[in-house]
Structures are given as structure tokens and as C-alpha cells.
Structure 1
Amino acid sequence: MTKRDKPHVLVVNQHGDNRGDEAALLAMCSGIEAELGPTEFTVIHQFNNAAAGPVLRPDARWITLRLPIVEAIRYVIFLVFRVMKLRPYFLLGKIGKATIAAYETADVVVSAPGGPYFGDLYVGHEPVHWLYVWVARLHRVPVVLYATSAGPFQKRWANPFRRYTYRCFTRLFVREEISAEHIRKLFAGRRRNVNVEVSVDSALQVTVAPMDRQNYMASNQMRAEDQLIVVSAIHWPYLNDPSPQLRQKEYDTAVIEAVKIFADGQPTHVVFVPQLYRSVHRDTPYLETLAQQLPAGISCEVLSDSKSSNEQCSLFAIANWVIAGRYHPAVFAVSSAVPVLCIAYEHKATGVLQAAGVSDAVMSIDEVTVEAVQAKARELLAGKADLTARLHVAQVALREVSARTSVAVADVVRRS
């Protein structure tokens, strides 16, 4: 039973300016609508450019969580009164009023796929994400954690707040077993536990049609049968390392060496694909620098960061190899059953490839040396047929697993 003609799903904690999180959001919305039919979505987001959201889902309502400081204070004061069962709406600014109205009319609040926005890795802004879950609890609206990553939880001062937040969820899904284990350890020995359900990344719920490979290769003066390698590398800070610049140089050289091994002496076109856009963390400049390190005989380009996540996925789908230094490029490879070498900087990438049954295709960024990456690339190249076969099995199986999270959201709505 819903409060309107169409179910109203309020999405909170949506990250912005990242093609991977964009793909996860769109797939989640598609999956929920497959279960509920036409659905009204409101998304509380973090996009730097407020116009970016409506481009993704013109039919959704988009509310920024970037409140001006005065309005943020007024919003928090309103919530204090709300705890006392008072509703002094006059305290709220325009954004605050829209936010509270969304909670009051929502049939379910969904904490968006992504993260780990609960955990030590991004603890600096974690309290903001707690708050948007707590507000749902305050308004007695059921909340679903939609297949995020979680942890680790070594910052002990934050753990009581984390436990309270997780107890707010009606259904709690994470996208890999490693995150589930982090939450289980967080509640170890506690009288009030939580039920953690393991799904998989929401972007695996949909399959994007591949672009026309022959036309694409011809547009780059290549033949359809030539090698196409997609690369999404990362400029990593290597915190607490005595020589971060040397470590990054080693990483960059290792990625280039992996490209050369996967090219296997054949004519090859390499596409460097950015994930971050319209932000201070935009990664196109780094990829442009990395592309310059390729040998002169290998054709290459840096894909425009204006390309949408669906456009990126359609490109990944026609590749011979993917080198994924970021999480969602690994997900895109799995969703299209394209052989992948993943260099994981967080546990989420390790977890998704374990779920896909290809844990041999991932290595930690902490293990990267030129020699180690070369050895892994040669190993994967020698076993390419087997790797591809396993990914085809995972492509189908994980689509069904991912859809379970949408089914759970629909069940919560029907019972609300």
C-alpha cells in the first residue's frame, strides 16, 4: 500500500560526479520499477552540477544535500524539534522544506548503492550519511540499504553511531561478502544484532547493448579484428608511504606493461576511460598523461568524460580486455563477460570478482610491481578462454542475485 497513486521511493546518500555510481543508480531505479511498475523517485544527491541529475532521470525529483551553512543550521534545529514531535516548518529553507516533504511522502527510503560511505575510508563525511538514515527513522519510514560496501570499522569512536545506523534499516544489503563480514564483526558479541544480506552491485542488474565494434574500430583507423583494450587507472595517494611518487610511477609503468602483454603483438587500440567528471577529482588529466607512456606503435585515445555510464558500458562490451584500476570498470567488464585484470584499491573490487568466480583476475594495489603485474597479465592471457567462460556464467548468475535487492525494496513498499 502506498501513499500516492505511484509508489514514492526516496533515494539518499547518492554520490555524484562518478560514472560508476551513476550506473549503479540507474540500474537500481530500473530494477525497482521492474518490480513495482511506474515509480516516483526523489534523489538527494551530491552532484557539483545540479543539472547533472535531471539528465540521468528527467522524471525524478533531485534535491541537493549541499545546503548553505545557514540553511543547514536551520535544518538541524528543525530536526531537534522534530525529535520532540514538533514541526516548526518556518525554520526550514527551500532545500530543507523539499527534503522533509520527500521524507513525509515516501513509501520507502533507499540508501543508495555505492560506498563504503559507512566505514573508515570516508569517515570525514560519514556523519552526513548517518543523518539521512536517521531522518527516515524519525519519520517512521522503512529504510533499505541497497547493496553498498561497508567498513572497515577501526575508528572505535564512530562505531556506536554505526551500530545505531545499521539498526535503522528494515532490510540491509551489502554487495560483497567482505563488507558483510565487516558488519558482523562490528556487532560481534552485541545483544542486538542485525541481519546482513549479501547481494551484488546494482549495475550488474542490467546489460547495456554493445556498440557497433566494426564502426568504432574503423573510426579509429583499426580493423574489427584488431585488439581493443579499455583501461581505467587511478592516481592513488599512497598515504603513509615514504615514496608515494615512486609508487605511482611503478603503478603507471605496470599498467602500460599489462597493455603491451594483452596486445600480444597484434595491432591494438587502447581507450583510457575516466570515471570522475565535473569535480576537483576529475581523472581525465591523469589518464592523458598515462596515455603518453604507450609505445608509438599502439593507437590510443582518452574517452571524453562527457560520455554517460551507458555509453561507457557499451564500449566495455566490445573490448578484448579491460584493465580496471577502479571498481565500476571491473563491474562493467563482468556485466559484459569481458576478460579483466583488476588492480583493487579497496575491498569492494576484490569482493565483486570473488562473487564472479574470478578471484584470480584481481590483485591489490599494495602488491603492484612491474614484475607482479606482468606475471598476472601473462597468466590471464594464457587462460583467457577459461576466464571468459567463467565470466559468461557469472554474467547471468549475478544479474539474478543483483535483482534480489530490488525485489526486497518492492516487498517493503507493499508492506508499508
Structure 2
Amino acid sequence: MNAFGRSNRGDSVLLDECIEQMRMVDPDATIMGILFEGISSAQAAHPGVDWSERIGNSSRFSGPLGRLEQLVYLFVAWFACATGWFGLAQVLPVSQRKTLTAYRAADFVISAPGGYIHDVNLSYIIALLHIHFGTLVGAKTVLAPQSIGPIKSKLGAAMTRLVLSPCALMCVREGYSRQFLVGELGIAPEKVVVAGDSAFWNLHVTENGSEIDHLLQEIGLKRGEQFVGATVVDWPFPHRTNPAEDKARYEDGLVHIFDKLYREHGLRTVIFNQVASDLDLAQRVAERSGAHVLVHKTETEPEILRAAIGRARIFVGTRFHSCIFAMMEARPLTAISYLPKTEFIMRDLGLDDLVIDIASIDCQVLSRLVAESLKEEKAVSVRVNRAVNHYRNTKMRFGAALAEVLETEKEPQLKGAVS
């Protein structure tokens, strides 16, 4: 559970890897998957998983009525799990009723990798509730590698502590997440392990070169044309004094560097579509820049997106899993950090000097980083490749952590698992 869906290509790679690891631990497990959106595409990718909808989705209303509907569904699910009165599920839409039935039947509940429990917006409360449902029904609840914190409000921190304390295991991707859980929330340290980001173990990439040629030409590149790859994020800059000013500075920085790359090196930029909600910002940047910035608007499977990113000379990424795609293809990159996960995972890789903070982006610093990645392209490529291989060889993989949890069970099989 707590999986977004396949419209975020980073999240879909993480979900693919999670399912693969669960199958490796127990090939006969019955897996039920809970998604925010995109059940049909998930079913096509993983027909062996029984998919249903996240509790709290509102389909009949928008605005205040939609939010009220969402709250009613979440309360009904919480009350049913807390009291055992599952007859109340009749209030829920059919797909969400199926989700509650999956919780009731599960031996294990796994919060999907890549989740981010932090108070940028109130969606973290819904994520916490879906974890809470698992512990309420008595299922052994595990968090696959994800990021947790910061949570600035005392109430939010208390709620997070209450929900996560009963979990069997929490896999986090960075040291700061472990410090937040153990040091600030007081979670038992033996329940928290640092594991690698699951995307680094997903090796699926298309080898169909003509398919990538066709995609890049559809975007607007000439056959064989060298280019810069990029992703952007339509970020709200939470907890900042002047978020509108920060957002304008970020957009200006993107326009500046893409213009500079074209003027000085003749390289056009392709802004790739990792998450559809970023396309409006991508289009604004393209319109301000002119014909030397192209926008990839179609939705493509991760193995195709990764191969296309791998064709770029260099990569300037804000969406972090697009940066991982670039690193898996040994592309020199500059990573624009909008959440702590970027800074800390890049530090674990030994590549933190390739990171710039989105909130204090400086055109001169950004220009220097990008210029160095282009000037030292071969050397940076070798360095990135070595860093990725070292990370994969030294970090714990989720399957290993899950296997350790299973070994503590009297019946060492995943009879039913909710992901």
C-alpha cells in the first residue's frame, strides 16, 4: 500500500522492484496491491497482483464535498479496523471495500518503497493511516525503503510516533531518516534499518534502439542529435518565507542554464516527463526558452524513459529518480535537491558535490556545476558508474531485510501480503 501508480515513472520502478523482491522471498505469496491511481495500467504490468484503490479517494465530488467524502471513508476504514466491525465497509466504494478486505486478510502489510512521510502537505496523514490500518488488524507491518521526516508540527510528530512504533520494521533510505525516527521520535533503534533506494537494483531498460530513436524524434530531436536531458518539479516550496519568489528563482535558473548550454555548446535540452503534474512548469520553461528546449509530453514506461535519458550528453535533474535513471546509465549529472533524500542519497554515493539546493539556487553555481559535468564528461561518467556499483554492493536490499522479518515468524511464508 501507499503506492502512487504508474504515472510517476520513479514510483512505478520502485513498486516493480518491491514486487520482485517479495516474489524472491516467497514465490507463492498472494499479493494485493493498493494504489492511489492507475489500477488498469498496474494490472497490465503485474497481472499476478490483485489491485484495488487507496481508501479515501473521492470520485463523486470535488472541493469541500470531496474532502468531506474522503474524511468519511478514512474514518469508516479506521473504525472498522480498530473495532472489527467490518460490516461498515459497505459505506465504501467497491474498490475501496476490496482494499479493506485485503487488510483484514493480510499476514503482512508493506508500505511501498519511495514513500515520503513529511509535512509538505496533508497527504502524509493519509499515508500514515494506511500504515495504521495494518497494525490495527494485527498484520506484521513493514516499511520498504523510504524517507521519513522532517515533520515540524508537534501534533504531526506525535501522530507519526504513534503509528510507526508498532511496526515490525522500518527501512529508510538515508541516515537522516533513521536519526529522525530514533533520535527525535524515540522509535526503537532495532526496528529501523538503512537500506538502499530500490531503484538502484531495477535493471530493466529497453535494448530496442530504434524505439528510443523514434521517441526522441517524436519529441523534436533530429536523428543522432546530441542533447541535454532534464526533469523539473512543480514544487510549492513549503515552510519558506516567500515561496513565490523561490519558485520564480528556480524557473529562472532553469531557463538560464538551458539557454547557456545552447548558446555556448549548441545543445538543445529535452525536459523528460517523469511525473505528468510537472508538465505545466516544463512547458513554461520551454516557452520562455524557445525552440532549443523540448518537452517530452507522452507517458512512457520506466525502461524506455531510462534508455532515453541514457542518450543524453549530460543530465540536469530535479526529480530524483530521473537522476537515478541517469546514474544507472553512467551519465554526468547535476541534481537539484528539493527534498533531503536527494542530498543524503547523493552523499551516500559520494556524489554530493554534484548537488545544488532548489531553495537557494544560484545561476552562477548551477552554471559551474553543469559546465564541469560537460567539460569532464568521460571522467564524471566513470566516477558515477563506480559510485552506483559501490552503492549496490554495500547497501542492504529490501528483500534481505524482508527475509529477516520472515525468519522470525513461526510460519515463514507470506500467506497474504498487501503492498
TM-score bracket relative to the smaller structure: 0.7 to 0.9
Shift of 1:328: 1.6
1:212 aligns with 2:205: no
Deviation of 1:42 (Å)? 1.3
Asked if structure 1 preserves the Cα contact closer than 8 Å seen for 2:89 and 2:100, the reply is no
Select between 240-249 and 60-69 the one with higher mean Cα deviation. 240-249
**Aligned positions of 1:370-389 closer than 5 A:** 370-389=363-382
Structure 1 segment 334-353 matched on structure 2, within 5 A: 334-353=327-346
Relative distance call for 1:99 and 1:236 in structure 2 (3 A) is closer
CA distance in 2, matches of 1:77, 1:356: 44
SS at match of 1:13: coil
1:137 to 2:130 alignment? no
Quote the offset at 1:103 in angstroms: 2.3
1:251 aligns with 2:250: yes
- Alignment equivalent of 1:195, drawn from 151, 176, 191: 191
The verdict on how the C-alpha distance between 1:67 and 1:360 changes in structure 2, with shifts beyond 3 A counting, is closer
Query: How far off its partner does 1:127 sit?
Result: 2.8
User: Residues 296-317 of structure 1: CA distance to partner in whole angstroms, max 9, x if unpaired?
Assistant: 5x3x431123222232112112
Shift of 1:218: 6.5
Is 1:106 the counterpart of 2:106? The answer is yes
**Match for 1:256: what amino acid?**
V
Instruction: Map 1:44-63 onto structure 2 (within 5 A).
Output: 44-47=34-37, 49-63=38-52
Separation in structure 2 between the aligned mates of residue 182 and residue 141 of structure 1, nearest angstrom = 25
**Distance in 2 between the 1:205 and 1:398 partners?**
10
Cα distance change on mapping 1:382 and 1:140 into 2, 3 Å = same
Q: Deviations over 1:30-69 (max 9, x none)?
A: 233234335432111211x543432432332221123553
Aligned-partner Cα distance in 2 for 1:152–1:218: 42
C-alpha contact (below 8 Å) 2:336/2:357 kept by paired residues: yes
1:341 shift after superposition: 0.6
Alignment of 1:261-300 (within 5 A): 265-277=264-276, 282-294=277-289, 296=291, 298=292, 300=293
Distance 1:21 1:165 in 2: 23
Tell me if structure 2 keeps the 8 A contact 1:75–1:91. no
Deviations 1:230-278 (A, max 9, x none): 111123334566665554343223223333555684443421112323x
Secondary structure of 2:148 counterpart = coil
Secondary structure class of the residue paired with 1:162:
helix
**TM-score of the pair, normalised by structure 2:** 0.82
- Within the candidate set 145, 149, 158, 1:160 is matched to 158
SS in 2 for 1:230: strand
Q: Structure 1 residues 402 and 62 mapped into 2: Cα distance closer, same or farther (>3 Å)?
A: farther
Question: Which stretches in structure 1 are left out of the alignment for 5+ residues?
Answer: 1-11
Report the 3-state secondary structure (helix = DSSP H, G, I; strand = E; otherwise coil) of the residue aligned with 2:177. Answer: helix
Q: Is the 8 A contact 1:204 1:402 kept in 2?
A: no
What TM-score comes out, normalization by structure 1 length? 0.82
- After superposition, where does 1:20-59 map in structure 2 within 5 Å? 20-37=10-27, 39-47=29-37, 49-59=38-48
SS of 2:288's partner is: coil
CA gap of 1:34–1:396, structure 2 versus 1, over 3 A, is farther
Comparing 102-111 with 324-333, which one deviates more in the overlay? Answer: 102-111
Q: Which amino acid aligns with 2:119?
A: D
Please, which moves more after superposition, 65-74 or 282-291?
A: 65-74
Q: How many Å separate the matches in 2 of 1:181 and 1:202?
A: 20
Partner of 1:235: 234
CA contact (8 A) 1:121 1:152 kept: no
Residue 325 of structure 1 and its aligned partner are, at CA, apart by 1.5
2:116 alignment partner, SS class:
coil
Q: Describe the superposition over 1:333-358 as per-residue Cα deviations: whole angstroms up to 9, x where unpaired.
A: 22222111111111011122112211
Q: What is aligned with 2:148?
A: 150
Give the whole-Å Cα distance in 2 for the aligned partners of 1:32 and 1:400.
20
Shift of 1:19: 2.1
Q: d(CA) in 1 for partners of 2:205 and 2:39?
A: 28
User: How many residue pairs get matched?
Assistant: 390
Q: Which amino acid aligns with 1:45?
A: L
**What amino acid maps onto 2:253 in structure 1?**
A
Q: Do 2:205 and 2:304's aligned partners in 1 also have CA atoms closer than 8 Å?
A: no
Q: Does 1:79 align with 2:81?
A: yes
The alpha carbon displacement at 1:377 in A equals 1.9
Matched-pair contact (CA < 8 Å) for 1:229–1:319: yes
Secondary structure at the residue paired with 1:154? coil
Off by >4 Å, runs of 4+ in structure 1:
70-73, 86-93, 216-221, 239-246, 260-267, 400-403
Counterpart for residue 412 of structure 1: 405
Q: CA deviation at 1:404?
A: 1.8
Report if aligned partners of 2:314, 2:374 keep a CA contact under 8 Å in 1: no
Q: Is the 8 A contact 1:291 1:302 kept in 2?
A: yes
CA offsets, 1:174-214, max 9 Å, x none? 112222222232235x7x55532111221111123255288
Alpha-carbon distance in structure 1 between the residues aligned to 2:178 and 2:252: 34
Q: Are 1:314 and 2:304 matched, yes or no? A: no
Distance 1:372 1:167, change over 3 A: same
Deviations 1:271-301 (A, max 9, x none): 1112323xxxx222221221233355x3x43
The residue type equivalent to 1:276 in the other structure is V
Match for residue 115 of structure 1?
Answer: 115
- Does the 8 A contact of 2:113 with 2:145 survive in 1? yes
User: Is the CA contact (8 Å cut-off) linking 2:231 and 2:317 kept in structure 1?
Assistant: yes
- 2:3 is aligned with 1:14: yes
Identify the residue that residue 7 of structure 1 maps to in structure 2: none
SS of alignment partner, residue 304 of structure 1 = coil
1:353-364 mapped onto 2 (5 Å cutoff): 353-364=346-357
CA shift in 2, pair 1:243/1:193, >3 Å: closer
Tell me the percent identity. Answer: 19
Unaligned runs of 5+ in 2: 59-68, 413-419
What is the one-letter code of the residue matched to 1:212?
A: G
Moved more, 230-239 or 19-28: 230-239
- Give RMSD over aligned pairs: 2.9
